[in-house]
Amino acid sequence: MNAEPPGERERLVLYRCRTPTDFLCPCGSVARRLRRHGLAHRTERVPYRRSDRPEIVELTRQSRVPVLFDGDEVIHDSKRIRQYLDWKHGEPESEQS
């Protein structure tokens, strides 16, 4: 697992749905990938109704989650987020999602 510099936790923020499990939605696949890389992050749960997500729309011009903030980078779409994490932090130790 990668060593994490001070302040990393504040830098990574995952906006995701309110689904309580990590196995039923695309947001969960991103959360699992973050854990596999050993990356600490803050999770923000957004409302189920897409019309109640103005902060997401403002940043990505769409109302879908997951959205990952990595410093100044804003990445949306679960597949893109997982690719970005693998590119930036190397392949995770177990590749199953």
Asked if residue 96 is part of any domain, the answer here is: no
Determine contact, residues 71/31, Cβ cutoff 8 Å: no
Domain assignment of residue 37, given as a range: 9-89
53-76 confidence digits (pLDDT tens): 888 888 788 888 999 999 889 999
Is 80 exceeded by the pLDDT of residue 90? Answer: yes
Find where tokens 């949306």 sit: 76
Q: How confident is the model at residue 23 (pLDDT cuts 50, 70, 90)?
A: confident
Q: How confident is the model at residue 94 (pLDDT cuts 50, 70, 90)?
A: low
Q: What is the CATH number of the domain that holds 27?
A: 3.40.30.10
CA pair distance 11, 34, nearest whole angstrom: 13
